[in-house]
Amino acid sequence: MALLEVRNLSVTFDFLEGKVQAVRDVNFEIEKGEILGIVGESGCGKSVMAKSIMRLICDDYCNLAGNILFNDVDLLTMSEEHLQKIRGNFISMAFQNPLSSLNPVLTIGLQVAEPFLIHTDMSRKDAFLKAQEMISKVGISDPETRLLQYPHQISGGMRQRVAIAMALALEPQILIADEVTTALDVTVQAQIIELLKKLNKELSSSIMFITHDLALLTNICHRVIVMYAGQIVESASVDELYNDPKHPYTKSLLQSIPRIDKKKKSLTSIPGSVIDLRDLPDGCAFFARCSFRKDVCKTSPELQQIGAKRFCRCHCL
């Protein structure tokens, strides 16, 4: 049974320059204990989709349509008071930029202890002891000293680990990890990946792992969703995606990854740039950049089921 179901989710921003369809009719689900990877270029709608699930997008200039079901309850129709009990407790999110998610005037200790103070009846002393434990878990040395410091006093990589510690504090049922390894060096990346895998294994927590780094997905994810221009263009298991990609965009992404077993093979790049979401074409969004395009691609393709749990949005299958 799915723990989280996203049905026909569309997110449209209203700007003076026009409407921007950041997410378009997205459907997927996350099962209990599953690690789902979301991959795509910058601007394809990954982070907007994640923030929509958490209901962190301002309704004043944004229109959300569809359903986001968590344990069969629609988060899009839930009151703000009820959402406050869900966020950080049952569904948690670690953001890409820790400078924007950490409060610059509060100590690290207070910010990591905050989930315990808000969502449990834990004493302040016990909350800070748990905060110290979480700081240590994400690989930060000398946790006693770090708890007393402010975000500007620690490195960027360390700030990211603090943000992850906050997200993991209450062992949520679903963790949304939005580009959490971007600011970290390779060694720390490996530590964070192992930490997320450990949480998944020990607590059966589901994880939505958002990244633009396809190489990382093989180390952590069970299933992968590829997004382009606000749409899902392919969905498959990790093995299926890497061994037999179907969508031209997925093939191009994989061909751009350096491989140690193919040293002499030149890397390919995807021509052009991501399309302007204010001026979407009538047909396939990838049409202008696709080397396999045909006349039929001038009409919009539907997401087709091509396997037991495999989907692809392409006319040229």
Helix axes 108-119, 124-137, angle to 10 degrees: 120
Same domain, 175 and 248: yes
Same domain, 15 and 96: yes
> First-to-last CA distance in the chain?
30
Residue 11 burial by Cβ neighbours in a 10 Å radius (0-12, 13-18, 19+): buried
Q: Could you tell me whether strands 231-237 and 304-307 are parallel, antiparallel, or unpaired per DSSP bridges?
A: unpaired
CA distance 195 to 268: 33
Position 270 in a domain: yes
CA distance 89 to 235: 28
Which residues touch 275 (CB under 8 Å, ≥6 apart)?
Answer: 229, 281, 285, 288
pTM, rounded to two decimals: 0.91
User: pLDDT tens-digit profile of 171-192?
Assistant: 899 999 998 887 677 887 888 8
Same domain, 199 and 295: yes
Same domain, 234 and 246: yes
Contact by Cβ (8 Å): 159, 98: yes
Contact by Cβ (8 Å): 292, 248: yes
Q: What is the mean pLDDT of residues 241-254?
A: 92
Position 223 in a domain: yes
Same domain, 50 and 175: yes
Position 225 in a domain: yes
Question: What CA dihedral angle connects 112, 114, 118 and 120, to 10 degrees?
Answer: 50
Q: What does the pLDDT read at residue 124?
A: 94
Q: Could you tell me whether strands 223-228 and 62-70 are parallel, antiparallel, or unpaired per DSSP bridges?
A: unpaired
Domain that holds residue 40: 4-105+150-312
Q: What does the pLDDT read at residue 261?
A: 64
b/e code 224-251 from CB counts within 10 Å (16+ = b): bbbbbbbbbbbbbbbebbbeebbbbbbb
User: pLDDT tens-digit profile of 55-92?
Assistant: 998 777 889 999 999 989 999 999 988 998 899 889 99
Position 169 in a domain: yes
Asked if the model's pLDDT at residue 264 lies above 60, the reply is no
Position 222 in a domain: yes
Q: Point out which residues pair with 39 in neighbouring strands.
A: 211, 226
Position 186 in a domain: yes
Question: What CA dihedral angle connects 108, 36, 21 and 15, to 10 degrees?
Answer: 0
Same domain, 11 and 130: no
Same domain, 245 and 160: yes
pLDDT > 70: percent of the chain: 97
* End-of-domain residue from the set 91, 122, 149: 149
Same domain, 98 and 120: no
Same domain, 285 and 216: yes
Position 317 in a domain: no
Asked if the model's pLDDT at residue 208 lies above 90, the reply is yes
Same domain, 257 and 228: yes
Instruction: Count CA within 13 A, CB hemisphere, residue 20.
Output: 16
Question: What CA dihedral angle connects 141, 143, 148 and 154, to 10 degrees?
Answer: 30
* End-of-domain residue from the set 86, 115, 149: 149
Same domain, 228 and 307: yes
H helices present in 138-233, as ranges = 143-146, 156-168, 186-203, 214-217
Question: How many structural domains is the chain composed of?
Answer: 2
Question: What CA dihedral angle connects 49, 75, 208 and 251, to 10 degrees?
Answer: -40
How much is the mean pLDDT over the chain? 89
Task: Please report, for the domain that includes residue 161, its CATH number.
Answer: 3.40.50.300
How many other C-beta atoms can be found within 10 angstroms of the C-beta atom of residue 45? Answer: 24
**Could you identify the residue written with the tokens 């790049």?**
269
Residue 80 burial by Cβ neighbours in a 10 Å radius (0-12, 13-18, 19+): exposed
User: pLDDT tens-digit profile of 119-162?
Assistant: 999 999 999 999 999 998 888 889 999 999 999 999 888 888 89
